[in-house]
A and B are shown apart, each in its own frame.
Chain A
């Protein structure tokens, strides 16, 4: 869910996603970075995100595995968000920081 949301802003690789989640949740969700990957792969398997090895924007020598949202993933996100919106408190704050401020 969080991953899909992160990818809404554009393709990202694993490390970026991890950092982003860490930042947006204001370190509330302290997870091991490693545990991100099974989740990523699961989403990939479901066809909600697609993965591709691409050179990084500024550093052409290095390739990262970029994940991007697929059409199915976008739909899934909409579905999930409507579900999640009904939830309250901390979760809402994490999900919609802009609306709150």
Chain B
């Protein structure tokens, strides 16, 4: 259809031009010329018919779209003729764009995408900050403060408490007894978030008079009730209470912490309302439109100041308000935001290197094609604009292909990320390749095309066609400075990649140190299983102590168990905090403002054996240490170093104060080695907390973790232990078994993920920079073949030529390296909080990465240098 119309138009041109020529010829004939001459004259007068037709075709062509089509067709044809170049270019871009897009999808999820609640930008959380240690992470509010704010504040549309500080609740009556997280929340909690139940309903005001009411999470509901929809209005046993099920939340509803199985209404007779001063809650709010976080914070602070005249000494605190999305990320991983930003910064470097690489590749290709370009530009009259457009569309085609391949890569990476969950992500927004991410990738495609196409295009359009054709396409170059320019680009790649290498080196070294530092205990072949005793049936300490004793003797009968023990806390599950203050008999009481730094825990005697913690002095707990015998304690070396550095410590009497003080004096009977433990809020750190161990027989807790060391390290042990404990008491919930190695790798997950990803980026950067260096040198040596021939004919040997090229390459590399080191030196300071055991300025890292880079550069340089050195002067000169 289209071509037929075109054909008709061509015939039309012909006819029109013919009539014109005939008329002109007739006119000439009347002035007395012969018919022949008249025709010629008419032709002369008329001009070039072929060119004219070409022009007419241009007029009628479908405008820019047709021209682009032509450009693209031409570009495709060019690429087909150079498959090697095309493959390298597309591959380079695919890596750059793929990595950037994948990283951006994480940035989008963590930093950009609003939480999946209406008015998410106005949702905030209120914490309190302890005045005595403002550097510490903020803490929960007291419920009393919430009540003050709720009644007095005007900054919020809604304000609701919710807390995960109360710990687990035991669910019975729906399958085996289990310990679940039931979050106490206020009745405004769901309206505040603006979410509805999937079926049933959320809380109502009149639920407050009804006793216990819960709303189930979708996950818990499908596990416990197998998806039956008639649960609403029914009941579920939670600890000793029977709770009414109001509704079930939709599958997509997420809040922090993700593990919450249900939300439980805080009622007037609940423990929280009965003791509001000591109940720890988070306060969540939706700001009124136009109210800033700062003014809300000032208001809450003033309200509190008015009502609470004085905080207890040492507990002075003030309100702090944060955006909810930011806090979700922070609670999931305190370093998450920084990590994501660092990785995104790094990946833009990779993309930049890829762009520069492509720009250089195209520049080099322009050199090779300059005769063709010159012919097109001058002889065929393409014009400069046309030439720039041609090169830009080539770049655009390459970047589109690269983006498509990169999208596949990004999709794969995101899929991997979601399936294998290398790091925990904040609740709310799963990492996906969504529309925003796709738009970002499209923008990248355009950007890379412009960056990598415009440079060579502008260069190429400066070619003087006469020059290019005259000297036969050799010796001439794209403007006098094109060679220098592409060398600068190559050096810039070195600069960018050394910065990435330095960052990656620091992070990798940090995670290595973090993972290889002796922890003071062994994680291999060790398993942990949390156990919760029902508070209502194990009221007496002796009952609890008896349970732990019986459970251990049952566990000992399992053949593969080498040793087993109970403990109230383990070093790797973020449960050790220095929240007690130590008092010593015969010493003055520490001031109330003193920071608590000691952790107390109860253990059964086998703990040190299971954990392989050495006993440095004194004795272990044994059967002598009973409920009624002398209260004893084992302390660790960290405590000795801090409190009894130069004294004999066995037999000393110590006590623990705040938050729990049972008033007993404990006699130190032994000293254990120090276990390093992990504090959630200080990710790149091993804490050495002073510990006071007490025998479980004297201080039996209501929940503890069973630690087991086995000979074979097989996970099947979990089922056997579960069986034994069920047999002992089926009402005791047994948690999920985990290996201690798993816990360790979870502790290291963020640092390791950062190091691996940044390491990958740095590797990519190195590869691309090497390719760039090689490309530039290969091109420049190819151009100088003749020169090398002359040099050799005049007596230089191949070693001279080799060193000439290597020197040229090395000057390039060193310049890039020097600039890169300066940039890296300035930028790695940002990483300071992500490092462990290594300073950002550690010279070994800097020498190391410089060495690696020089090595890669040398390989990239030697290949073209070698080729140059083997130039046969006869061939080189004859080539002309």
Chain A residues proximal to chain B, CB less than 8 Å: 13-15, 18, 32-35, 37-38, 41-42, 45, 53, 62-65
Q: Which residues of B contact A32 (CB under 8 A)?
A: 45-47
* Contact (Cβ within 8 A) B60 A34: no
**B870 CB–A CB distance under 8 Å:** no
Q: How far is the CA of A33 from the CA of B15 in the complex (A)?
A: 15
Given contacts A41-B59, A42-B59, A45-B60, contact A34 B52 (CB under 8 A): yes
- Enumerate chain B residues within 8 angstroms of A62, measured Cβ to Cβ: 19
Give, as a whole number of angstroms, the nearest-CB distance from B766 to chain A. 55
**Interchain residue pairs A-B with the least CB separation, the first 7:** A32-B47, A34-B47, A15-B23, A38-B55, A41-B59, A34-B52, A34-B46
Residues of B contacting A41 with CB < 8 Å? 56, 59-60
Among B15, B16, B47, B58, max chain A CB count under 10 A is at B16
- Whether the pair A35, B23 counts as a contact (CB closer than 8 A) is no
| A-B pairs with beta carbons under 8 A, tally | 51
Q: Which residues of chain B from 10 to 39 have any CB-CB distance to chain A below 8 Å in the complex?
A: 12-13, 15-17, 19-20, 23-24
Are B59 and A38 in contact, CB atoms less than 8 angstroms apart?
A: yes
Residue of B nearest to A62 (CB): B19
User: Which chain B positions have C-beta within 8 A of A13?
Assistant: 19-20
What residues on A are CB-neighbors of B59 within 8 Å? 38, 41-42, 45
Asked if B782 CB lies within 8 Å of chain A CBs, one says no
Does B49 touch A at the CB level, under 8 Å?
yes
Residues of B contacting A38 with CB < 8 Å?
52, 55-56, 58-59
CA distance A21 to B13 in the complex (A): 21
Say yes or no: A14 contacts B16, CB within 8 Å. Answer: yes
Contacts of A45 in B (CB 8 A): 59-60
Cβ–Cβ < 8 Å partners of A18 in chain B: 20
- Give complex CA distance A64, B16 in Å: 7
- Could you show 6 A-B contacts with beta carbons less than 8 Å apart? A14-B20, A15-B24, A32-B47, A37-B17, A37-B52, A41-B60
In the assembled complex, the Cα of A42 lies from the Cα of B58 at a distance in Å of 10
B795-819 interface code vs A (CB 8 A; 1 in, 0 out): 0000000000000000000000000
Contact yes or no, B46 A33, CB < 8 A = yes
Minimum CB–CB distance for A6 against chain B, Å: 15
List of B residues within 8 angstroms of A37 by Cβ:
13, 16-17, 52, 55-56
Judging by beta carbons under 8 Å apart, are A15 and B20 in contact? yes
Closest-CB distance, B29 to chain A (whole angstroms):
14
In whole angstroms, what is the CA distance A41 to B20 when docked? 15
- Name the residue of chain B whose CB is nearest to the CB of A42: B59
B646 interfacial by beta-carbon distance below 8 Å: no
Excluding A15-B20, A38-B56, 9 further A-B contacts by CB distance (< 8 Å) are A13-B20, A14-B19, A37-B13, A41-B59, A41-B60, A42-B59, A45-B59, A64-B19, A65-B12
Contact assessment for B49 and A34 in the assembled complex, using a CB-CB cutoff below 8 Å = yes
In the complex, what's the smallest C-beta–C-beta distance from A14 to chain B, in angstroms? Answer: 5
Report the minimum CB–CB distance from A20 to chain B (whole Å).
13
Partner of A34, one of B19, B48, B58: B48
Tell whether, in the assembled complex, residue B20 and residue A33 are in contact, meaning their CB atoms are under 8 Å apart.
yes
Q: Bound state CA distance, A32 and B45, in angstroms? A: 6
- Closest approach, in angstroms, between the C-beta of A11 and any C-beta of chain B? 15
Rounded to whole Å, the gap between the CB of B103 and the closest CB of chain A is: 48
**Contacts A13-B19, A45-B60 given: A33-B55 contact, CB under 8 Å?**
no
Contact of B45 among A14, A33, A65 (CB under 8 A): A33
A38-B56, A45-B60 known; A33 vs B19 contact (CB < 8 Å): no
Can you name the residue of chain A whose Cβ is closest to the Cβ of B12? A65
Distance of A38 Cα from B58 Cα, bound (Å): 9
A35 touches B24 (CB 8 A): no
Within the complex, the shortest CB–CB distance from B670 to chain A, in Å, comes to: 99
Pair A65/B52 contact, Cβ less than 8 Å: no
A78 to B16 CA separation, bound complex (whole angstroms): 29
Are A33 and B16 in touch, CB under 8 angstroms? no
Chain A's closest residue to B17 (CB) is: A37
Which residues of A are found within 8 Å of B20, using beta-carbon distances?
13-15, 18, 33
Please report the C-alpha to C-alpha distance between residue A35 and residue B49 in the assembled complex, in whole angstroms: 10
State which residues 619-641 of B face A: CB under 8 Å: none
B64 CB, nearest partner CB in chain A, Å? 14
Distance (whole angstroms) from the CB of B41 to the closest CB of chain A: 11
Choose one: A14, A35, A42; the contact of B47 (CB below 8 Å): A35
Q: A35–B52 contact, CB under 8 A? A: yes
| A63 neighbours in B (Cβ, 8 Å) | 19
From B12, B19, B58, name the one whose CB has the most chain A CB atoms within 10 angstroms.
B19
**What is the bound-complex CA distance between A15 and B56, given in angstroms?**
17
Residue ID in chain B nearest A35 by CB atoms: B47
Contacts of A35 in B (CB 8 A): 47, 52
Give the chain A neighbours of B13 by CB distance below 8 A: 37
Question: In the complex, which residues of chain B have a beta carbon less than 8 angstroms from the beta carbon of A15?
Answer: 19-20, 23-24
Instruction: List residues of B (847-877) whose CB comes within 8 Å of A's CBs.
Output: none
Contacts of A42 in B (CB 8 A): 59
**How far apart sit A19 and B65, CA to CA, in the bound complex (Å)?**
36
* Distance in Å: Cβ of B24 to nearest Cβ of chain A: 6
Residue of B nearest to A31 (CB): B47
Contact with A along B50-72 (1 / 0, CB 8 A): 00100110111000000000000
Q: How far is the CA of A45 from the CA of B23 in the complex (A)?
A: 25
The interface residues of chain A lying within 8 Å CB-to-CB of B55 are: 37-38
**Which residue from chain B places its CB closest to the CB of A44 in the assembled complex?**
B59
A35 to B46, CA, bound (A): 8
Q: How far is the CB of A85 from chain B (nearest CB, A)?
A: 28
Distance (whole angstroms) from the CB of A64 to the closest CB of chain B:
6
* A10 → B minimal CB distance (Å): 18
- Min Cβ gap B62→A in Å is 11
Q: In the complex, what's the smallest C-beta–C-beta distance from B347 to chain A, in angstroms? A: 48
The CA of A35 and the CA of B19, in the complex, are separated in Å by 15
Q: Is the CB of B16 within 8 A of A65?
A: yes
A16–chain B nearest beta-carbon distance, Å: 9
Shortest distance between the CB of B30 and any CB in chain A (Å): 13
Which among B12, B20, B23, B48 has the highest number of chain A CB atoms within 10 Å?
B20
Which residues does chain B contribute within 8 Å of A34, judged by CB atoms? Answer: 17, 46-49, 52
How many angstroms between the C-alpha atoms of A88 and B48 in the bound complex?
A: 33
B60 to chain A, nearest CB (A): 7
Q: Known contacts being A14-B16, A15-B20, A65-B16, is A33 close to B47, with CB within 8 Å?
A: yes
A62 to B56 alpha-carbon distance, docked (Å): 23
Please, how many angstroms separate the alpha-carbon atoms of A41 and B59 in the complex?
7
Q: How far is the CB of A88 from the nearest CB of chain B, in Å?
A: 31
